Amino acid sequence: MLLAARLTLAGGAASAPVDTSRVRQPHRRVVFQFDQRYSLLQRELVGINGLKLGVEWRGRLRTGVGLYFLSSAINTRADAPSFVPPGSTDKIRFRYGVLYGEYVLVGTPRWELSTPVQAGLGYYYVRYQYPNGTVYHAPRNFIWLIEPTIGGHMRVFRWVGVGAGVGYRQALLTQDKLEDDISGVIFYGRVKLFLGDLYKVVRGRERLFSQRGLHRRDYQPQP
């Protein structure tokens, strides 16, 4: 289980504090997230760490940029260069940046269901280690990726929730076997800490473990 944090900064003046657990806010706000996903690549559970920074529009649409990297190297099924001696080990690594868009399908004070889609460009390389310990890095190659997912969360309290999601990563315009190495199902489960709401709860000296603001009667959509 991993920790995701979102910091929200409301834009525009307001005469009263805004409850950011509600959707369809009449303003934009900055969103920042630690984003870690998991994939089964080469029958191994692999973590992919990322950071996302973007803007939320009226609580329904989020757009921004992200940066991801593979937390541990994986084996490749691509053929090794002819000069690599038999018995060598090979590991593939990749990093990539993305542009993302996310539309909130369902948004209530407690629940959210959204469809994030990411498309990006990165690079990958293969690291070979010879039997005598010598290391050879193959030249870097560019890679295009697209990642559609669906995910959601439930707020346990106003400032903390639990979430999960599933999707698929597809590598494009690479060697066929390397596409298979990198492409795969994405899934995640996480605890989400809403820093903006935590700050408001602490600043307002509210009860930390209250259900205030999470009931349907507290939800009044903005026109």
In this predicted model, what pLDDT tens digit does every residue of 68-126 receive, in sequence order? 998 877 877 778 888 888 888 888 888 999 999 999 998 888 899 999 999 999 988 88
Of the chain, the end-to-end C-alpha distance in Å amounts to 37
User: Hey, where are the domains in the chain?
Assistant: 2-70+97-117+145-172+180-218
pLDDT at position 1, please? Answer: 42
State the alpha helices, DSSP H only, in the chain.
Answer: 176-182, 195-203
pLDDT at 2 > cutoff 70: no
Whole-angstrom Cα distance, residue 39 to residue 36? Answer: 10
Strand partners, 89: 129
pLDDT over 60 (residue 9): no
Q: Check whether 21 has a pLDDT greater than 50.
A: no
Find the mean pLDDT for residues 50-76: 89
Q: What is the pTM of this model?
A: 0.74
Sign of the CA dihedral with 92 first, then 67, 23, and 155 last: positive
Selection from 163, 162, 83, 180 nearest residue 116 by Cα: 163
Q: How confident is the model at residue 6 (pLDDT cuts 50, 70, 90)?
A: very low
Rounded Cα distance, 29 and 58, in Å: 8
Better-scored residue on pLDDT, 2 or 178: 178
Select, from the ranges 65-79, 169-183, 207-221, the one with the highest average predicted confidence (pLDDT): 65-79
Residue 204, Cβ density class (10 Å: 0-12 exposed, 13-18 middle, ≥19 buried): exposed
Question: Tokens representing 203?
Answer: 């600043």
More confident residue, 6 or 190: 190
Whose tokens are 């698929």? That residue is 168
For residue 50, name the pLDDT band (cuts at 50, 70, 90). Answer: very high
- Listed residue (194, 24, 17) closest to 107, CA to CA: 24
Q: Is residue 174 pLDDT above 50, yes or no? A: yes
Looking at residue 189, its pLDDT comes to 92
Query: Given a cut of 50, is residue 10 above it in pLDDT?
Result: no
Dihedral sign from CA coordinates of 98, 99, 105, 111: positive
Candidate ranges 56-70, 166-180, 195-209; pick with highest mean pLDDT:
56-70
Contact (CB, 8 A) for 182 and 171: yes
The CA angle 92-98-104, to the nearest 5 degrees, is 125
**27-43: pLDDT as tens digits:** 788 889 899 899 988 77
Q: What is the pLDDT of residue 172?
A: 84
DSSP assignment of 172-221: ESS-HHHHHHH-EEEEEEEEEEEHHHHHHHHHTT--TT--TT-SGGG---
